[in-house]
Structure 1
Amino acid sequence: MKLLTLPSFLLLFFETAILSNFVTADTNVHYLDNNEFFKFSNPRQIYGTKPLHIFCYQGKPKYIIHIWQSVILYINHSTDDYNQFDGGSPEHVEKEYLEKRYSWTSGLFSSKSKTFHLNPFNTSCIGIESQDTYSVHLKIIRVDLWNILKLVAGIVFFLSAPTLSKNTLFHYVCGVSSGVCASFLILIYFLSKLFPRKTFMYGVIGAGWTLVIYFLQILWDNMKTILSLYRTYVIWYIVITGTISFILCYRWGPVQNQRTMNLIKWSLQLLGLLLIFFSSHFQEAAMAQVILLLLFTYVPKRWVLAPKMYWKKRFPPKLKPISNDEYYEQGVRETAKALDDLRKYCSSPECNQWKTALKLKDVKRFASFIEGNSHLSDEEILEYETSIREEVTDDSDNGEDAQFSEDESS
């Protein structure tokens, strides 16, 4: 009987302890709005007492004018002695708080941030557990320039992917950048030589990129501190690894295989589509932008122009007749343009002047035309003007005769 009641007694004891700790956690929920500023402190200042405060932002309805909106929560804390939890509701934050608080891996691979980008259209909550004084500030950016920059960069990457995949300079830049970022793998490779077991070595190498991503995340979170304190080391690291990467890229040369170029092109296009999709929290509008870009790029132009051609065929535009003055001006303008093109062709190496001169009666007149003189002689101009006057006179006489005959008949 004692053996049966002892486990039950221990289970009841742990449940009571957990619930009592959670109740005394002093949990507060605060719903913030634009430009709201709160400052909190622990009035008791008892060692080990860390109250949990939950800050929530209630999302707004989705409208197309809010496609580039961003909501940022800033935490001003003098030290890093605090724990953070996030979730879609206060209940989720409290659940994560309990899971991490009573877990032996609560502080393993956990990163802290003092800037949170919240979803403007959904309810988002951030829980802060701290004993020290800190402040919280919520800011709503109506048009986030970073989101617009990601959209433009995504479009540029997608449209220029066929050109960049064949560009030698782009190949060198990518090779050097990859060498700088992947230098951690070289260190892991040399460390793996210390372990005799091959299976363990393969596991270490397989987890190499995971460690690289983790280290890069730590470096990004502490970039400002690293650049200010270890600027010389950072510069020498980039110079040495970049030089080695450039030498290796120069030794093997740029990519020549067409299939490899296709893989680079598809990777750039995928990167561009991801940038467009993540440029806005309005996922429906972002997906619509992605679909429009794909249609604009891959849909044949004849399919796009088919409705326009059908509309022109079904409803042809009405032609507006031109007047006599417009007809005369157009004739003079087009004639001068055609004569200028002919003069340029005759002066170009494509035209055999001697062969053309053999077919002409007046070679001197041809040479004068090429030098810029008129293509008509004075006699031809005078004859043309005389014929025009005669036609005008005949038309006026015929008009007067017709009018006189109509008067007699009346």
Structure 2
Amino acid sequence: MPDVILATYCYAGERPSVAAIFKSVWMSIDIGSDQFTVYRGANASDVLHQHKVASGQLFTLLPWRVRHVRLPPFEPTCVGVETVERYSVQLSVRHVDYWLALLLAAGLALFVAAEPLSTNVVFHYSSGVAIGMFGAVLVAVFVLSRLLPRRSSALAFLFTGWSLTLYLLQYVLENLRQHLIRYRAYVLGYLAVSGLLSFAICYWYGPVKDRRSQTLIKWFLQLVGLGCVYMSSSMSEASMALVLLLVGWQALPASVGVRMRAALRRRLFRPKPRKLLSEQEYLEQSAVATRQALQELRQYCRSPDCDAWRTVSRLRTPTRFADFVEGASHLSDEEVLEYELEPTTLLPRDDDDGASEDDW
């Protein structure tokens, strides 16, 4: 049997910058078998120390057997691969990881919408059903774990502690897709029944109406949103600064927040200044609006909706009204002449506030 070889690969990291806030680095191990172990540390000495510790243990299920390792972009990191098989290692650098950007957007949206979601009936039912289905999955995992031989599982926990739990979790996640495809009918049926039971329980108790309970739900959603914001970038300084900014914004009084949002909205979406009409434009628009209104009045008077007898009985000159309906002018010659001879009343300007009526 060939000797096991431990090869260490190190990533130097780079200087943090705002342009690399969504940067991610992955190391992929292409190997044909599961006979390998992976160690991760801050430097080569740390990797070698983990290898010695793992080799000296009597029974261990760690370290991990993962084929994709995420590395911090701004910190030096070393990864050790121990195996007798042939393999290749590839380093992938994503300058903009869209999943991280999506995680940031989801965290911000959840933090902002926490208060309306805490009182939303649809959110209460959907979250209740989701929690019920997740609890059903946990129950299934617990029942399956009881099927293991008690003595062997107890000895495993005695020697490895949480190692067995973490290894089983990793094993289930890696083989989850195969299990879902093989037993998809049973899985879908189990999830459907658990979802219906969860919905029935939520419907029986109804949505949360207590104010304190709604406040607790809002705080929980905001904490989840802040957690998503913090995990959306490998640059912990920028993530923490954004988290503190959101917490400080939430701590502001409501009146201050409203004024700041209004000022920000005016600065970002500044309305265009309204154009004032000149005297000529005002006269033209008023003439057009008057002709349109008179035409609509004529059409109404000709329509069956107008009570002609009642309208005529209230007029002093029914013949003039009839001529107007037939298309004549709404003003007589005397009224036009009187309007032309009447002096025009002008509005005073701003600098003529002190002028009296005797000055006109």
| TM band (smaller chain) | 0.5 to 0.7
Cα distance in 1, alignment partners of residues 283 and 261 from structure 2? 39
Structure 1 contact 113–221 (Cα < 8 Å) conserved: no
Counterpart in the other structure of 2:331: 379
* Among candidates 270, 284, 288, match of residue 223 of structure 2: 270
1:6 is matched with none
Query: Do the aligned residues in 2 keep the contact of 1:59 with 1:121 (CA within 8 Å)?
Result: yes
Alignment-derived partner of residue 19 in structure 2? 65
CA distances 1:191-227 after superposition (whole Å, capped 9, x unpaired): 99xxxxxxxxxxxxxxxxx999886554333222222
- Using the size of structure 2 for normalisation, the TM-score is 0.66
**Residue-by-residue CA offset, 1:277-330 (whole Å, 9 max, x unaligned):** 111112222233334444555452235668999xxxxxxxx9997643345467
Amino acid at match of 2:41: G
2:72 pairs, out of 116, 119, 123, with: 119
**Cα shift at 1:334:** 9.5
1:225 corresponds to which of 152, 174, 178:
178
Higher relative contact order (CA 8 A, sep 6+): 2
Residues 182 and 212 of structure 1 are in contact (CA less than 8 Å); yes or no, is this contact kept in structure 2?
no
Deviations 1:134-180 (A, max 9, x none): 11111111111111111111122112212222222322222222222
Structure 1 pair 386–190 and aligned structure 2 pair: CA distance change class (3 A)? same
Matches of 2:87 and 2:104, distance apart in 1: 35
Alignment of 1:325 with 2:280, yes or no, is yes
Tell me which structure has the larger Cα radius of gyration.
1
Query: How many Å separate the matches in 2 of 1:332 and 1:293?
Result: 56
Structure 1 Cα separation of the partners of residues 316 and 143 of structure 2:
85
Counterparts of 2:144 and 2:52 in 1: how far apart (Å)?
41
Judged with a 3 Å threshold, the aligned counterparts in structure 2 of structure 1 residues 308 and 219 are, in CA distance, closer, same or farther, namely closer
User: Structure 1 residues 321, 252: closer, same or farther in 2, change over 3 A?
Assistant: closer
Structure 1: distance between partners of 2:29 and 2:81: 9
- Tell me, yes or no, if the aligned pair for 2:22 and 2:101 is still in contact at 8 Å: yes
**Offset, 1:275:** 0.8
Matched, 1:239 2:196: no
Structure 2 match to 1:52: 6
SS in 1 for 2:232: coil
CA RMSD, 1 decimal: 4.4
* 8 Å contact kept, 2:37–2:64: no
CA contact (8 A) 2:38 2:64 kept: no
CA gap of 1:382–1:90, structure 2 versus 1, over 3 A, is farther
- Tell me, in whole angstroms, the C-alpha distance in 2 between the residues paired with 1:304 and 1:214: 49
Deviation at 1:274, TM superposition (A): 1.0
Equivalent residue pairs, number: 296
Structure 2: distance between partners of 1:181 and 1:172:
14
Q: Tell me, yes or no, if the aligned pair for 1:68 and 1:148 is still in contact at 8 Å.
A: yes
How much identity, in percent, do the aligned residues show? 31
Alignment partner, residue 118 of structure 2: 165
Task: Give CA deviations for 1:221-266 in whole Å, capped at 9, x if unaligned.
Answer: 3222222333333223323333333333333333232211211111
Structure 1 range deviating more: 88-97 or 215-224: 215-224
1:86 and 1:125 in contact (8 A); partners too = yes
Letter in 2 for 1:81: Q
2:103 maps to a residue whose letter is K
